[in-house]
């Protein structure tokens, strides 16, 4: 069996240190990618919210237009009755 010396332990620890540095760098890259994806998701949610707001405004405008058309139709129907009397 090989004798365990301080130099051997030092080399093993250096290798572990190097591998841990690589793992930390990889985790940092993953964290940056995750934050970028989070930013994109937030912007997509904001866009969707804005689309819903625009659709709600359009729906309100269509409701007003429909109410006006119904009033006009009622007025035109009333004129037909007024003319025939």
39-72 pLDDT, tens digit per residue, is 999 999 999 999 999 999 999 999 999 988 887 7
Q: How many structural domains is the chain composed of? A: 1
Q: Which helix (H) or strand (E) holds 4?
A: none
Examine the pLDDT at 34 and tell me if it is beyond 80.
Answer: yes
DSSP state of 85: -
Residue 48's domain comprises 36-85
Distance CA 80, CA 71 (A): 14
Tell whether 10 is covered by a domain: no
Backbone angles phi, psi at 3, to 5 degrees: -80, 140
Tell whether 23 is covered by a domain: no
Tell whether 40 is covered by a domain: yes
Tell whether 78 is covered by a domain: yes
Specify the pLDDT at position 18: 97
Tell whether 18 is covered by a domain: no
Specify the pLDDT at position 83: 64
Distance CA 33, CA 26 (A): 11
Specify the pLDDT at position 70: 87
Tell whether 76 is covered by a domain: yes
Mean pLDDT of the chain: 90
- Confidence category of residue 85, pLDDT binned at 50, 70, 90: low
Tell whether 30 is covered by a domain: no
Tell whether 1 is covered by a domain: no
- For the entire predicted model, the pTM comes to 0.61
**Residue keyed to tokens 């409701």:** 63
């Amino acid at each position: 069996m090989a004798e365990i010396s301080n130099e051997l332990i030092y080399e093993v620890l250096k290798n572990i240190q190097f591998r841990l540095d690589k793992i930390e760098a990889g985790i940092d890259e993953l964290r940056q990618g995750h934050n970028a994806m989070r930013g994109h998701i937030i912007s997509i949610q904001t866009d969707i919210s804005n689309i819903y707001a625009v659709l709600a405004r359009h729906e309100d405008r269509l409701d007003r237009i429909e109410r006006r058309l119904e009033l006009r139709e009622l007025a035109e129907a009333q004129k037909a009755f007024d003319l025939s009397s």
